């Protein structure tokens, strides 16, 4: 199955510790290169996130971002230790007669050790919520990659069909091109003042035909088209295979152009190279 390397997905869920959001985005890359932006409470789940990405992806530069926003706000995340505050109040009443001029402001009481306490976060629970959210986002992310990959595969098959059509057309031109080449050689040799040695004409014709023989290149192009179609139907990631195959396509198209002695085959070689380049650009986007 063809999957695109470029994709984006995001989601958010409410937890008892605040709003948890996740974003996953990816662009083209030769290998799998993940990077993470995580809040301090979720640093420890990075290995689990790497494992999840490795199970689903084989190529691409992937950015995973997790954010935690307190639902109650910073002030409400604090808890006042009322029993301790009551003890301090009772102590102040007992000591009031001894220190009549002593004044204690409420803000000073809050600085007393233990009066203000930070709400504890259940890290294990928060991490479970984060991993579950990442799983949801990764499912959406994978679905997006598959949708874009399907569209790319359709465009690639159209280019392969065009390459096959040009290859077939060139093959149909070859008998006519060979006849024209022989006629051209006959005319040139007829202009020679000295007679040829017996069999020399046939030798010259054979050598010329060998130089322009592109049957092997056309056979290879047809085989490459068949192989590319087969690869596009595989379930695993095929980007590297297709990337290698593009080099083979280019090699045959270049040889076809260098052997051309006819304007039609020269133009066909140019059109082939344009189609192959379009294919190569699309291959760079698939996993």
Tens of pLDDT, residue by residue over 20-30, are 999 999 999 98
Q: Give 237's DSSP letter.
A: -
- pLDDT digits over 99-111, tens only? 777 777 777 777 7
* CATH code of residue 44: 3.30.230
- The pLDDT value given to residue 123: 85
H/E segment holding residue 227: helix 215-232
**Looking at the domain assignment, is residue 189 inside a domain?**
yes
Report which of residues 89 and 50 the model is more confident about: 50
Question: Are 42 and 83 in the same domain?
Answer: no
First to last CA, the chain: 10
| Strand, coil or helix: 20 | strand
The answer to which of 48-62, 113-127, 215-229 has the lowest mean pLDDT is 113-127
Sign of the CA dihedral running 277, 2, 162, 246: positive
Q: What value does the mean pLDDT take over residues 144-168?
A: 95
- The pLDDT value given to residue 210: 58
- The pLDDT value given to residue 188: 63
Report which of residues 99 and 267 the model is more confident about: 267
Taking CA atoms, 161 is separated from 12, 32, 155, in Å, by: 44, 31, 10
**Looking at the domain assignment, is residue 1 inside a domain?**
no
**Looking at the domain assignment, is residue 195 inside a domain?**
yes
Question: Are 87 and 205 in the same domain?
Answer: no
**In sequence order, what are the residues at sequence separation of 6 or more whose Cβ sits closer than 8 angstroms to the Cβ of residue 118?**
77, 78, 79
**Looking at the domain assignment, is residue 240 inside a domain?**
yes
CA distance 10 to 20: 11
Nearest to 156 by CA among 86, 245, 219: 245
> pTM above the 0.75 mark?
no
**Looking at the domain assignment, is residue 171 inside a domain?**
yes
Write out the DSSP string of 187-211.
HHHHT-SSPPPTTHHHHHHHHHHHH
Question: Are 167 and 273 in the same domain?
Answer: yes
Domain range for 273 is: 147-283
Question: Are 226 and 132 in the same domain?
Answer: no
The answer to which of 7-16, 65-74, 255-264, 270-279 has the lowest mean pLDDT is 65-74
- pLDDT digits over 81-100, tens only? 778 777 877 877 777 777 77
Residue 83 phi, psi (nearest 5):
-60, -40
Question: Are 30 and 61 in the same domain?
Answer: yes
Sign of the CA dihedral running 232, 234, 240, 246: negative
Report which of residues 260 and 137 the model is more confident about: 137
Q: What value does the mean pLDDT take over residues 178-197?
A: 66
Question: Are 190 and 168 in the same domain?
Answer: yes
Question: Are 199 and 128 in the same domain?
Answer: no
- pLDDT digits over 134-145, tens only? 999 999 999 999
Sign of the CA dihedral running 237, 240, 243, 249: negative
Question: Are 103 and 62 in the same domain?
Answer: no
- Encode 92-129: b = buried (16+ Cβ within 10 Å), e = exposed: eeeeeeeeeeeeeeeeebeeeeebeeeeebeeeebbeb
Question: Are 161 and 208 in the same domain?
Answer: yes
pLDDT category of residue 199 using cuts at 50, 70 and 90: low
- The pLDDT value given to residue 73: 44
Nearest to 256 by CA among 182, 177, 203, 160: 177
pLDDT category of residue 219 using cuts at 50, 70 and 90: very high
- The pLDDT value given to residue 30: 87
**Looking at the domain assignment, is residue 197 inside a domain?**
yes
CA distance 36 to 28: 17
Q: How many domains does the chain have?
A: 3
Question: Are 248 and 230 in the same domain?
Answer: yes
Question: Are 111 and 196 in the same domain?
Answer: no
Question: Are 201 and 164 in the same domain?
Answer: yes
Q: For 99, how many CA atoms within 13 A lie in the half-sphere containing its CB?
A: 8
- The pLDDT value given to residue 166: 96
Q: What value does the mean pLDDT take over residues 70-88?
A: 65
CA distance 54 to 126: 23
**Looking at the domain assignment, is residue 2 inside a domain?**
no
């Amino acid at each position: 199955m063809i999957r695109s390397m470029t994709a984006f997905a995001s989601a958010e869920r409410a937890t008892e510790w605040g709003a948890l959001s996740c974003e996953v985005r990816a662009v083209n890359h030769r290998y799998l290169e993940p990077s993470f932006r995580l809040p301090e409470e979720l640093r420890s789940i990075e290995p689990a996130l790497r494992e999840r990405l490795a199970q689903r992806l084989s190529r691409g530069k992937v950015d995973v971002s997790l954010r935690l926003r307190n639902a109650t706000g910073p002030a409400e995340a604090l808890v006042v230790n009322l029993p301790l505050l009551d003890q301090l109040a009772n102590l102040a009443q007992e000591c009031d007669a001894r220190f009549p001029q002593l004044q204690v402001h409420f803000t000073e009481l809050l600085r007393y050790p233990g009066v203000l306490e930070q709400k504890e976060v259940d890290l294990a629970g928060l991490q479970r919520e984060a991993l579950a959210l990442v799983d949801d986002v990764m499912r959406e992310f994978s679905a997006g990659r598959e949708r874009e990959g399907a569209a790319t595969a359709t465009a690639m098959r159209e280019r392969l069909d065009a390459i096959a059509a040009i290859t077939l057309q060139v093959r149909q031109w070859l008998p006519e091109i060979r006849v024209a080449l022989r006629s051209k050689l006959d005319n040139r040799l007829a202009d020679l003042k000295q007679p040829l040695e017996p069999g020399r004409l046939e030798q010259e014709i054979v050598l010329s035909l060998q130089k322009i023989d592109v049957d092997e290149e056309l056979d290879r192009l047809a085989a490459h088209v068949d192989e590319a179609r087969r690869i596009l139907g595989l379930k695993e990631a095929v980007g590297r295979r297709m990337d290698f195959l593009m080099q083979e396509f280019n090699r045959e198209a270049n040889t076809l152009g260098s052997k051309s002695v006819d304007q039609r085959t020269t133009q066909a070689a140019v059109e082939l190279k344009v189609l192959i380049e379009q294919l190569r650009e699309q291959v760079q986007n698939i996993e």
